[in-house]
Chains A and B, each alone.
Chain A
Amino acid sequence: MQMTEMELLHTGEQLRSEAVAIAKFAASARQTADPRLQQMYMRAAERHRNHYETILRQVQNFAAHRQY
């Protein structure tokens, strides 16, 4: 599987956004006084971390196979 320069660029951009989102939602979970919102923010931070790992694993695969 090939990976284009454009894809690499978008990947970096999205990972950067995901990293900020992880930090932001974790901070919101700490700051809110509402237990319901705290749960939501914690789950959101977790889901963003999953996104980050999913993308990173896939790109690592491309690099490992060097099929491009």
Chain B
Amino acid sequence: MIDEKDRLTDSLITQKHIASGYNTAAIESSNSQLKETFMNILRDEHQIQYEIYQEMNNRGWYQPKAANVNDISQNVNKWNQELQRVQSAAARQPGAAHQAGFQAGYQSGFYAGAPQYGMQTGTGIPPTGQETHQYRHP
């Protein structure tokens, strides 16, 4: 038997699924009007999702556990160090984005494992003026 909590949970899952679909649709749109439409609807899907969440939260059916304050500050410290590490690595390669040797250093460093970023316009490949027509998402 489906009760009120099940119905709300099911609604929440529906919203999550639809919102993800709009996010992908917007990201993979080359038509600016369509992209805008998808992003506007995505925002509305989030609002619907949040209303459902609030109803569940008010009834005590969805109460996410608060993070430990010490865990938060430990993570903040770690992320600050990570930012400094990345910034100093970037500073060692002045103007790297415009140099031919950039691709190799880029891929062996912080972004190793994500070499597809090197394929984007503006990171080494000169623009051809055909991007709009050739745009295909990986």
Contact = CB atoms under 8 A, between A and B. Distances in A.
Interface of A: 1-4, 6-7, 10-11, 13-14, 17-18, 20-21, 24-25, 28, 31-34, 36-37, 40-41, 44, 47-48, 51, 54-55, 58
Interface in B5-27: 7-8, 10-11, 14, 17-18, 21-22, 24-25
Contact of A2 (B2, B31, B136): B31
B7 A32 contact: yes
Nearest to A5: B136
Interface of B: 2, 4, 7-8, 10-11, 14, 17-18, 21-22, 24-25, 28-31, 33-34, 37-38, 41, 44-45, 48, 51-52, 55, 133, 135-137
Interface of B is mostly: helix
B11 A17 contact: no
Contacts of A20: 14
